[in-house]
Structure 1
Amino acid sequence: MTTACDVLVVGAGPVGLTLANLLGQQGIDVLVVEREHELIDYPRAVGIDDEALRAMQTAGLVDEVLPHTIPDQKIYMVNGDRMILSEVNPTTREFGWPRRNGFVQPLVDQVLLAGLDRFPNAAVRFGAEVTDLAEDADGVVATLANGETVRALYVVAAEGGASPTRKRLGISFEGETRPTDGIVIDVANDPIGTPHAVFGGDPARSYASIALPHGIRRWEFTLFENETEADVDNDEFVFGLLAPHVPDPSKLDIIRRRVYRHHARIAGRFRHGRIFLAGDAAHVMPVVGGQGWNSGIRDAFNLGWKLAAVVKGLSTDGLLDTYETERLGHVTQMVAVSLGMAKEMTDHDPQKAAERDRIAANRTPEEREAQKRQAFKPQPQFDQGVVVHTPLPTFKTLPDRDVPRLAGSIFPQPTATDADGVEMLLDDATGQGWRILTWNNDPTAFLSDRQRAALDRLGARLVQVVPKAQLPWARKQATAGVTVIGDLGGESGLQAWFDARPVGAVIVRPDHVIAAECLAQELDDVLGKVFEAACIA
């Protein structure tokens, strides 16, 4: 028996399920196959960031995800004497959501799985293992362990770091694996009860103690080379690990315990013809940075709108090459940062730990503030791909000021109003998909009929941003097909964003990345260049 679909996703983890939801929204026929018979329920990620929550918002699932999070979760990095080395507590809402959030991954995965019930064109099959992939000129045929076949236009392998697909394709997975393992212990009825997380760089044995939603506490400990999985199954051994942290480990309600490896690896390529790697199949990183799960969601968000555009015939296949072009550089940075943090906090050399403590003690207030706001986290910034960099004029009165180039970065999401003055997050006010935002101007005044027709085919949104005070007037004057929204002002408002750079128009991709920014009069020409970069047919 042969099943047909537009996109076959291998792996029902968070990346595969997120991608399937995004494709389902776009009317793409998507099938997810998972070799296990149910969702994985063992301990994995514990942190979801603002970019990932915005992706959940785009997928229409954020309201279901939020009950399983701890917003604005603070992290203390401490040494063996519990002296605070640094504090991570970013309170920005630049993208509309808290930058750091604790969460229970299995419950969020369940939300993603249930989300597919919304789409008649999306399906999941558990107990379905892919044993072979054969590509031809028209697509890919996947053979399942039971002998069935699935024909798809494209395949996305999101089946984890041990990815059989990656190995089958002969794609390298370069990097390193730490010589020692770690143990995760999840406990119900949190015996500590504090809302924050602590990462302990104790040279005697490094650890993490993390508060999770619903009264769950997670501990992670580094194991030494002479300690094995058999030790982890021994209650006395586990109680010994926990004894420095709670009065009586024997009274803990342990939900689960599991051994894991510290990997830092990146696939040699993310695309092989019609087959793509995403999530851990494409890259793995140490858990200390809390970015493994989030990096996989970025993969799904970047690849989802591109696959939908190509399957629908809106863009040519060349658009899919930009997935690797855009994601590889950023994930390489993220792996390096996570690896550096892991080595800093899990090094058991007392001399190196003492040097780390000395450096931390001598940080300036500015350096401490940068740590606090998580400035060490690389933000996505694409120099190539679906990005057009336009020459920007400088402010002559400020010769030493660098005009920030934001094309290729993520567009902010402040609170704004719809045309009726109702306050909501920007993406809800404008709608999703391709968007053109102009400050105060009617965008149609700067667009040719040809570009308007192309925007209509894309289902793009034309957005006129005005100060809230102008809403009654602007709404009456609005051109058909133009969405008018009101800016609330303030440091985080859209007026402040436009004030900071000499442009009056911005072109935003479906994944909220700025494709280009320009003067209003340049809009038609720059839009044409964006369409060219996006291989729009």
Structure 2
Amino acid sequence: MTTTDTDVIIIGAGPVGLTLANLLGQQDVRVVLLEREDRLVDYPRAVGIDDEALRTMQTAGLVDEVLPHTIPDQKIYMVNGDRLILSEVNPTTREFGWPRRNGFVQPLVDQVLLAGLDRFDTVEARFGAEVTDLADGGDQVTATLADGATLTGRYVVAADGGASPTRKRLGISFDGETRPSDGIVIDVANDPIGTPHAVFGGDPARSYASIALPHGIRRWEFTLFEHEDASVVDDDEFVFDLLRPHVPDPTRLDIIRRRVYRHHARIAGSFRAGNIILAGDAAHVMPVVGGQGWNSGIRDAFNLGWKLAAVVNGHADEKLLDTYEVERLSHVRQMVAVSLGMAKEMTDHDPEKAAERDRIAAARTPEEREAQKRQAFKPQPKFDAGVIVQTPLPTFKSLPAREVARTAGTIFPQPRATDTDGVPMLLDDATGQGWRVITWNNDPMAFLSPESIATLERIGARLVQVVPRSQLQWTAKHTSPGVTVVGDLGGEESLQAWFDARPVGAVILRPDHVVAAECLSQELDEVLGRVLDVAGIEVRR
């Protein structure tokens, strides 16, 4: 057997690399995180974290440290050049347990992620460590560093940014487009405005964004015209002129950061080359207007993290890694398209096109405005292939005939429920993390073969029995050993409501909270076997 220095080498200590390192550390995977800079990047970056990403932080055990650096339920107003509201984004859903839209300070959250690595003896972060070459030998990858040292690992994950040296070294394409004009970001302490929301201004004279951030920080973003050089970022008078229409006195602002950036919309031609895998901006970049670049990278880390851990720990065949690109690519394409469309709509400086946009916005129906408010334009992840099993809609007479959307490949909701002791909490905290087989009312052990139960134990899966809260204590005394009993709290967003709306009594959840399959209770063992097969997990007979 080939000896390696570590299991996984991660290149890049940005949010994707840091999140992945935390998720792998939880699974006792040996990780070396390499960052060419001497410290975490502190310049202006992402300002929006969504509910899926917060659920990932919850899974990583860091959400309580992240939340102090967020503004929950942050509204966005899209306005025109006359400051008239074109649309409002204000989703108040808690479908996944957390607010859908949150303002945040990325450098502070990155620090939380870095500090989280201290929990794991198997994870090491090295700063000032630049990778200059990678050699994939088939059973391991050798990374050569700028100081001449080498490091070997079974896999390498390159989370080294949009200009990824790794992607370029591998010769992987990065097709898409680059917007013709740059943008300038200005962060100010002691927020001179003081309102909690964000404003995106589609002003044909010059588009802008004004965003409240935690800890009294205000972010401004302005589009630069093609004739304006990036050096204007250092010109105080230019910056003051940009801010003069926004504050009483720009010369009194406490400017803490300013930077020029470029809008890209590009996707790598492949997310994997042998044992080297691309994630985050190395695999895809998108305009900042949609606020999904950071969140899309976190989705990459979450999708990839459990799969790498399963392969490294011997629970799954390496074919499981092939599903990473299969599952992530479709949603990334959707998010890039949405972000690019929003960027073009809000940063177009053609007065006639801006006027047409305003006319369309004014003509929206109340239903269309409500959909915009709910952020219905944001595509939800939905996998049509990968580690999912689609089961036919049951037609038994005990089930009403109705059109029901199938949930395999979607994210399972996270309502509040109770643990076995009756303490209310979010579902993932009540059930525990990892693979989960969840049944309504039934003891799941009654429907699984000894071989299936042994396989689930081997991969650390959890068997969960959900019952109405009134049955909780009785069920806890009578269910099979090893089954976690969860109390349902009832109501429109409860687990009972979820099961009541669908002709299924059991769901199989992956470690990233995606529904791998749904079925009737009596079908559970057979369907579970199919899920384990597509995941490359052997059921030993």
Tell me, yes or no, whether TM beats 0.5: yes
Matches of 1:486 and 1:230 in 2, distance apart?
60
2:417 is aligned to 416
Matches within 5 A, 1:56-455: 56-393=57-394, 401-455=402-456
Matches of 1:394 and 1:370 in 2, distance apart?
33
Name the SS for the 1:93 alignment partner: coil
> Offset of 1:323 from its aligned partner?
0.2
Could you tell me which runs of 5 or more consecutive residues in structure 1 were left unpaired when the two chains were aligned. none
2:42 is aligned to 41
The answer to whether the 8 A contact 2:70-2:103 is kept is yes
Closer, same or farther: CA 350–76 of 1 in aligned 2, 3 Å: same
2:526 is aligned to 525
> Offset of 1:225 from its aligned partner?
0.8
Deviations 1:386-436 (A, max 9, x none): 00000012698976x421111000000000001111000000000000000
Matches of 2:464 and 2:99 in 1, distance apart?
25
> Offset of 1:228 from its aligned partner?
1.1
Matches of 2:307 and 2:467 in 1, distance apart?
31
Does 1:502 find its partner at 2:482? no
The answer to whether the 8 A contact 1:200-1:208 is kept is yes
> Offset of 1:137 from its aligned partner?
2.5
Deviations 1:278-299 (A, max 9, x none): 0000000000000000000000
Name the SS for the 1:143 alignment partner: strand
The answer to whether the 8 A contact 2:280-2:296 is kept is yes
Between Structure 1 and Structure 2, how many residues are aligned?
A: 535
> Offset of 1:3 from its aligned partner?
7.5
Matches of 1:452 and 1:71 in 2, distance apart?
41
Matches of 1:216 and 1:524 in 2, distance apart?
53
> Aligned AA for 2:165?
P
Matches of 1:292 and 1:334 in 2, distance apart?
8
Name the SS for the 1:238 alignment partner: helix
Deviations 1:241-275 (A, max 9, x none): 00110010000000010000000000001010000
2:11 is aligned to 10
> Offset of 1:230 from its aligned partner?
1.7
> Aligned AA for 1:391?
P
Matches of 1:255 and 1:242 in 2, distance apart?
14
> Aligned AA for 2:308?
L
> Aligned AA for 1:253?
D
Name the SS for the 2:247 alignment partner: coil
Matches of 1:414 and 1:271 in 2, distance apart?
35
Deviations 1:469-504 (A, max 9, x none): 111211111210000000001011000000111000
Deviations 1:432-454 (A, max 9, x none): 00000000000000000010010
Matches of 1:168 and 1:321 in 2, distance apart?
21
Name the SS for the 1:355 alignment partner: helix
The answer to whether the 8 A contact 1:330-1:380 is kept is yes
Matches of 1:372 and 1:394 in 2, distance apart?
37
> Aligned AA for 2:369?
R
> Offset of 1:73 from its aligned partner?
0.3
Deviations 1:296-330 (A, max 9, x none): 00000000000000001110110000000000000
The answer to whether the 8 A contact 1:11-1:35 is kept is yes
> Aligned AA for 1:278?
A
Matches of 2:91 and 2:374 in 1, distance apart?
4
> Offset of 1:209 from its aligned partner?
0.1
Name the SS for the 1:314 alignment partner: coil
Name the SS for the 1:65 alignment partner: helix
> Aligned AA for 2:106?
Q
Could you tell me which runs of 5 or more consecutive residues in structure 2 were left unpaired when the two chains were aligned. none
Name the SS for the 1:483 alignment partner: strand
> Aligned AA for 1:504?
G
Name the SS for the 1:28 alignment partner: coil
Name the SS for the 2:384 alignment partner: coil
The answer to whether the 8 A contact 2:138-2:275 is kept is no
> Offset of 1:12 from its aligned partner?
0.3
Matches of 1:116 and 1:230 in 2, distance apart?
38
Name the SS for the 2:162 alignment partner: coil
2:51 is aligned to 50
The answer to whether the 8 A contact 1:3-1:149 is kept is no
> Aligned AA for 2:531?
V
> Offset of 1:42 from its aligned partner?
0.1
Name the SS for the 1:227 alignment partner: coil
The answer to whether the 8 A contact 2:490-2:496 is kept is yes
The answer to whether the 8 A contact 1:186-1:255 is kept is yes
Matches of 2:4 and 2:522 in 1, distance apart?
50
Matches of 2:55 and 2:104 in 1, distance apart?
15
> Aligned AA for 2:380?
Q
The answer to whether the 8 A contact 2:4-2:154 is kept is no
Matches of 1:340 and 1:137 in 2, distance apart?
41
Closer, same or farther: CA 475–90 of 1 in aligned 2, 3 Å: same
> Aligned AA for 1:190?
D
The answer to whether the 8 A contact 2:387-2:516 is kept is yes
CA-based RMSD of the aligned residues comes to 1.1
Matches of 1:230 and 1:32 in 2, distance apart?
34
1:24 is aligned to 25
> Aligned AA for 1:460?
A
Deviations 1:337-370 (A, max 9, x none): 0000000000000111111100100101100000
> Aligned AA for 1:105?
Q
> Aligned AA for 1:308?
A
Closer, same or farther: CA 169–362 of 1 in aligned 2, 3 Å: same
Name the SS for the 1:450 alignment partner: helix
> Aligned AA for 1:156?
V
Name the SS for the 2:442 alignment partner: coil
What's the TM-score once normalised by structure 1's chain length? 0.99
Name the SS for the 2:5 alignment partner: strand
> Aligned AA for 2:8?
V
